[in-house]
Every structure is written in C-alpha cells, then in structure tokens.
C-alpha cells in the first residue's frame, strides 16, 4: 500500500510481504519469493528462526527497556559473546550501522584529542559506504549520497580503495594529524569489490607504524557473511575498532562499535551514549543470534554454501556475453554485467527472486541466508541466467 504520508526516500518495488519462513517470503497476494537479499545482509539465519522468535517472545514478556544508567546484565552477556567471536575487548551499543560508525569516528577523534592532536583526521576510501548520517556520508565515498547535504563534516582524507601506497603517502604528508583509517574489508554497496590479498594486513602495518587506529566497518561483511565471523579474520588481521550491525540483530535494530588495545578505553563516562543502545530486549536477541549461529555452524555453512553458489554461477554465467565477472567471498556475491539492463531488479523479482542491483546498476548483489540448500542454489542460478538470456535474446 502506497502512502502519501511516507517521505519518498526509497524507490520501492511494488510488492509487500506478510510472512517469512527460512529463506522464503510470502507476499500479501500469497506469492512466494526466494530471499537472496536478506533485508540487505540481516536475516542470515533465515526469517522467523524458531530460536530467535522464542528469545524475542520470552524477553518481551520479561523486560523490554531500562536506561543505561543502570546495570544491564543482558548487555554485558552480549558484549562478552561479541568479544569472544571478534577478539575485541570492549563494546559500545547503539541502534544501526551508521551509528556504530559515528561512534567509531568519535572514538578516533577523542583518541587523537587525548594525544594532543588539534585536527584529528581519518583516512577513508573512495566508493566507501558507511551510512547516511552527516558524519557517515562525509566519510563515505559517494557524491550521490553527499549531494545537497553540505557542508559536510571535515576531518577526513580520501584515498583510492585497495591502494596501500596512497595510504603510505598520507602518512608521509599529513603533519601528524591522522588518527585512524576507516575501511570496509569488502566494498558492499559499491558492488562487492574484494581488495587484493594483503590489503588489510598492509593497513594494519601502516597503522601500527604511525600509531593510527585501524577501524574496520564490518556492518555488511561481519557476523559470518563471508564465511568467517568477520572478514578480517580471513587475513588474520585484528583491528583496533570493529563496527557491526545488520545480522547481529536478525531484524531488531542494533549497532556495535567494538574496540581493543589502545582503543578499548577511549570512551569514558559521559563521552558517548544512546537511549536504546544495548537494552535488555535487543541484547537478548543478539545473544540468541550468536548462540544459534554457533549451535548450527552457520559461519561454516556460509563458507560452504557461498562457494557452491559462486562455482555454480561461474559455471552457468561465466561465458555469457553480458557477464563480465562473478566474484564473491562466502555469501557476499556480485555478478558484474557489461551493460546496464533496464528494470533488472523488477525482472528478477517477477521470477520470484529477491536480490539487489548496485554498483551503478551493473552489479547483481546476492546476500542469501546461510540456510539455503542445493535446490535454492539452483533456483538462484537458473533465475538469473533466465533473466539475462531473455534480455540478450531481445536486443
């Protein structure tokens, strides 16, 4: 149902869903759709997972909200679980990915300020996406997201993605004002761009040498999506600051800025806060997500299913003229096309499949849940192949 009372911030597709189960959504018209988007990397365990539903119901019955002015044992338990899977030491809770990055940006500035740095500057990359608040569009590399929202926040210096030499140049020419590097381990919104092997390790080395914080935005890549709990673990790199959100909440709003080492205790009482952040309700759900992912081996499944899907997509689409490249890591996969196909999302949706099209309209981004089987893998591949074949046949 369209409404004149909603600000038209989204280009919405003409379908509404009323039910979700596992990898499947049912529309209000009773049509079934295979969800290879996961509400943009959120429902990694599938829709309405019984263990998550049980946690939601039990905690809603018990206690929904108290202020962070009191001890919140559920929050402490989730913090411990997050530190266990990430290797971080301390955690700040908020309500979204953008807020998690806002916290990281504030933390880096305070870290610099504590060191006597007058204009703390954060190295960020071209094509990055870190959220839609003023600070995060300023950190992000999209002129489309920034247009009309100036003046942007200062204190960022931009380098090309996957370019260590450019970061070294900043180190040499920055008057010692740089305090941190903020990057996505894989560019998500810009089209599943995977950097060269050694990129994160190289950044780690530069940060160590200059006493900068390495801050990784794992809001999309984290929580098992790439086949490890966090994408940086593929390279054995431990950041100083790690942000996460999305799949940690399985649909309830949560954001996390985690820190370790010299970043762990930068925030002190009164320096940052959030009314809802880490309330008992969302904390119990986040803990249930981690426990369930562990119990079901969801991270290993993401690696295994992702590899199967990647191989199948390459086998079927690799020689197709329309396809430039099929790339991915775990369940974060991009099919890069040579041409922009009009209404591509709608064409795929019409065949009962939910995906995303990004990277200037030429990259089909797949973010399916870590619970799909061979039949669903086949359906994803068949559907995309059929839509591309149909388009090719008519041009």
Ligand X SMILES: Cc1ncc(COP(=O)(O)O)c(C=O)c1O
Smallest separation, CB 269 to ligand X (Å)? 26
Which listed residue (93, 129, 267, 281) is catalytic?
Answer: 129
Please state, in angstroms and as integers, the Cα–Cα distance from residue 9 to each residue in 4, 6, 97, 132, following that order: 12, 8, 18, 12
Q: In sequence order, which residues have a C-beta less than 8 Å from that of residue 57 and are 6 or more positions away?
A: none
Closest CA to 289 of 23, 84, 44, 89: 44
Mark whether 57 is an active-site residue: no
Phi and psi for 82 in degrees, rounded to 5? -65, -40
- 129 lies in the site for ligand X, by CB under 6 A: yes
Which listed residue (35, 127, 217, 240) is catalytic?
Answer: 217
Stretch that binds ligand X, among 90-98, 297-305, 362-370, 382-390 (CB under 6 A): 90-98
3-state secondary structure string across 125-140 = ECCCCCCCCHHHHHHC
Q: Which is nearer to ligand X, 206 or 245 (CB)?
A: 245
Alpha helices in the chain (DSSP H): 38-41, 50-62, 73-86, 97-114, 134-139, 143-146, 164-173, 199-210, 280-296, 298-317, 344-350, 374-394
Stretch that binds ligand X, among 9-17, 126-134, 194-202, 302-310 (CB under 6 A): 126-134
Place of tokens 């999309």: 220
Interacting positions 214-253 with ligand X (CB under 6 A): 217, 219-220, 245
Structural contact between residues 223 and 244, judged by C-beta atoms closer than 8 angstroms? yes
Interacting positions 26-85 with ligand X (CB under 6 A): 40
- Count interface residues toward ligand X (CB under 6 A): 15
Query: Which of 74, 102, 127, 184 lies at the binding interface for ligand X (CB under 6 A)?
Result: 184
CA 28 to chain CA centroid, Å, is: 28
Stretch that binds ligand X, among 15-23, 48-56, 97-105, 273-281 (CB under 6 A): 97-105
Q: Which is nearer to ligand X, 74 or 217 (CB)?
A: 217
Which listed residue (246, 281, 287, 362) is catalytic?
Answer: 246
Residue 206 backbone class (left: φ over 0; alpha: ψ -120 to 50; beta: rest): alpha
Stretch that binds ligand X, among 50-58, 66-74, 182-190, 315-323 (CB under 6 A): 182-190
| Nearest residue to ligand X, scored by beta-carbon proximity | 97
**Beta-bridge mates of residue 157:** 123
Mark whether 217 is an active-site residue: yes
- 98 lies in the site for ligand X, by CB under 6 A: yes
* 90 sits in which H/E element: strand 90-94
- 190 lies in the site for ligand X, by CB under 6 A: no
Q: Which is nearer to ligand X, 257 or 388 (CB)?
A: 257
Pairing of strands 356-358, 90-94: unpaired
Q: Which is nearer to ligand X, 191 or 388 (CB)?
A: 191
Pairing of strands 213-217, 17-21: unpaired
Query: Which of 20, 22, 39, 97 lies at the binding interface for ligand X (CB under 6 A)?
Result: 97
Stretch that binds ligand X, among 125-133, 145-153, 195-203, 329-337 (CB under 6 A): 125-133
Smallest separation, CB 305 to ligand X (Å)? 21
Binding-site ranges for ligand X (CB under 6 A): 40, 96-98, 101, 129-131, 184, 188-189, 217, 219-220, 245
């Amino acid at each position: 149902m369209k409404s004149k009372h909603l600000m038209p911030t989204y280009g919405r597709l003409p379908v509404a869903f009323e039910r979700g189960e596992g990898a499947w959504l049912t529309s209000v018209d009773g049509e079934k759709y295979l969800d290879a988007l996961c509400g943009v990397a959120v429902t990694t365990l599938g829709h309405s997972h019984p263990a998550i539903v049980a946690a939601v119901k039990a905690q809603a019955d018990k206690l929904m909200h108290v202020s962070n002015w009191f001890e919140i044992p559920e929050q402490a338990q989730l913090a411990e679980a997050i530190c266990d899977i990430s290797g971080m030491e301390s955690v700040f809770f908020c309500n979204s990915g953008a807020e998690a990055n806002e916290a990281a940006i504030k933390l880096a500035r305070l870290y610099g300020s504590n060191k006597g740095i007058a204009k703390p500057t954060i190295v960020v990359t071209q094509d990055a996406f870190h959220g839609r608040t003023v600070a995060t569009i300023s950190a992000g590399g999209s002129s489309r997201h920034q247009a009309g929202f100036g003046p942007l926040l200062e204190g960022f210096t931009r380098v090309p993605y996957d370019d260590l030499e450019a970061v070294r140049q900043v180190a040499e020419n920055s008057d010692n004002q740089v305090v941190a590097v903020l990057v996505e381990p894989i560019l998500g919104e810009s089209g599943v761009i995977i950097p060269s092997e050694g990129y994160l390790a190289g950044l780690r080395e530069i940060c160590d040498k200059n006493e900068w914080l390495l801050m990784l935005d794992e809001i999309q890549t984290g929580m098992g999506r790439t086949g490890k709990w966090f994408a940086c673990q593929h390279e054995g790199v431990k950041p100083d600051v790690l942000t996460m959100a999305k799949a940690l909440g399985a649909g309830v709003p949560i954001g996390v800025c985690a820190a370790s080492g010299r970043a762990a205790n930068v925030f002190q009482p009164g320096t940052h806060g959030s009314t809802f952040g880490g309330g008992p309700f969302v904390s119990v759900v986040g803990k249930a997500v981690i426990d369930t992912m562990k119990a079901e081996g969801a991270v290993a499944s993401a690696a295994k299913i992702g590899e199967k899907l990647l191989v199948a997509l390459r086998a079927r689409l690799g020689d197709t003229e329309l396809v430039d490249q099929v790339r991915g890591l775990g369940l974060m996969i991009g099919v890069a096309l040579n041409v922009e196909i009009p209404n591509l999302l709608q064409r795929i949706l019409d065949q009962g499949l939910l995906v995303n099209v990004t990277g200037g309209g030429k990259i089909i981004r797949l973010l399916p849940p870590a619970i799909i089987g061979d039949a669903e893998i086949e359906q994803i591949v068949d559907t995309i192949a059929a839509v591309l074949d149909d388009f090719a046949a008519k041009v």
